[in-house]
Structure 1
Amino acid sequence: MSSTVSLKQLVNDNGPLILDGGLATELEAQGAKLQGDPLWSARLLQTDPQAIKDAHYSFLLSGADVITTATYQASISGFIEHLDVSSEGARELLMSGVHLAKETVTRFDCGHRRLLVAGSVGPYGAFLHDGSEYTGAYAQEMSVEELKVWHRPQIDSLAAAGADLIAFETIPSIKEAEALVELLREFPDCKAWLSFSCKDGKCISDGSLFTDAVQVSSRSTQLLAVGVNCCSPDVVEPLLDSARTLLSPDLSWVVYPNSGEEWDTERGWKTSEKTSAWRPELSDTWVKQGAALIGGCCRVGPAQVAELRSKLKGSCTSPAS
């Protein structure tokens, strides 16, 4: 993000910024077969980049102000292992995630909306592809330095490609958050948000209190926002409320829950009687709590994002022709 335009300025001028929804959700709706793939949507960076651009475009049409790159489950090591590419080829693929998103923004050319591209960085558990991104168990066996070594090439690639900001997403472990906060200092021109996966209305996925996670995040002067993603919409309000006195003046909340369905590593997404439906009216409360970036995660598609934008900012107009 340009140093001359702050997140708070954008929000003051335009209201909360609308994030996109689940990229893989939209790709699967378009026919992509992603379930069980260790690279998930990142594989399409090599095999079907146009599908990624089409999915980005769908979210822009629905009213998203920020689109995230198809790099959540991407890494240098992962590409080398699963695509049989060189280290340089893997780096180029990571960078292409930003390039595809920026090309789509240029094609959209809405004129009156400031559009941003966030370079997605998932947790180490996403590379493991074993469901540990929702527990953070791996962090118990890793040091902060080891986590920094892992994440460094991904951040370097996305920054070099020109992402407007970095999105540290679905972070389940307070130790991994510490690593990312420290690592971000190595990229002084980068701004970012950091969002946690959470197990309930008090704790992130590794069992640490959300309040402690926010305190760790507040150490960074480069973070624009901290918050939650890929959790049930019902736990957002109590999580934000628990840490309301800890948010520094320079930080805002970022909120993008999933549909409320539960993920089963064996069977995929499942519904239950406790499943909370996606309800855009919940966003009113999140705005009152100070959320500046609001969107959706898994199982939230362009139609739901359009409902969210309509609720918070009015209907989206079509791009210039």
Structure 2
Amino acid sequence: MDAVDSALVDSSLPIDGSVLSETVLSDTMLPAGAADACQIEEPLAQDRIWLISTRRITSNVCCADFEQPRFSVSRLSANGCQTPSSMDEYLGERLPGRPTVVYVHGYRFTSSEAIRRGLRVHREIACRRAAGPIDWVIWSWPSAKEKFISHDIREKAKFTDTQGLYLAWLLKKHLGCGVPSTLIGYSFGGRVVTGSLHALAGGSLGGRSLPCEPVVNARIDVGLVAPAIEKDWLAPQDYHSLATSNIDQLLLLYNQKDSVLKRYWLIDMVRGTMAIGFGRLQSFAPRADGSRIWLRARECSTWIGHTHDELDYYECPCSAGSEMAQLVDDALFVH
């Protein structure tokens, strides 16, 4: 990745909306036709698609099993047909040098909606990629609305701690197989992603940590769309601060007009609390070796307006599909 396409962010530099605007990708930096619709009929035929679901196991962080979590694993066809599989089979098919991309959906997705969205995002990215085959994993977690929304969203926010620890367990297995991983998260899914990298490095979430040796310098690429992550959580000594010790590149697509993230403070009822996805990021902690992560940031409100819809980022000139495709391809070229 060259300096024209990205910004190297000083981890000691406070970042707010005004500074982020200096690192925004301009339209002239995008590949020609980046906002065009996909031109191929099917996603890359060589890609394998998997569903890993935590919906049938506890989301209570106090009770969760982080020694050997019992995930539900299935293979998926491009049209969503499931074939039951197992974690042993899934791990047995990890190939060194073949990247695995884990996509984590946001709040208020049922199991079937998570599959449809994960397949849609895969298609948007796959038809814009230039490199070889990948494994695409849809991480399906219990985010469907079940209660009055104010109580429900606070409960699901707590679930993200458990999901971050579960995902960290999986990433540890990937690294043991020599598999490069890329993580893509939308809204609360972004919180799961950064939480997992924090937990992988030995950090605690909800008072729990993984019962294994910490991993740092994993150099995992991350793509976040409208992330519902508190603005200072990636800062030194904060809640997800160890995540940056495992991040190589960070792609951030945000919207300073997002009407949902504008009310982010209601989750914890603390006025002034703001989300990274609203364009408010204070600072980054450094990597474990003291170096700085790479940030590519794009402000998308010009095209999206006030909505908090992931697909808007893929369908408008914000070009999430092209940006994520580049992020995924980089894993093949770099690793």
TM-score norm. by structure 2 comes to: 0.41
Q: Which has the higher helix share?
A: 1
TM score, norm. by length of structure 1: 0.43
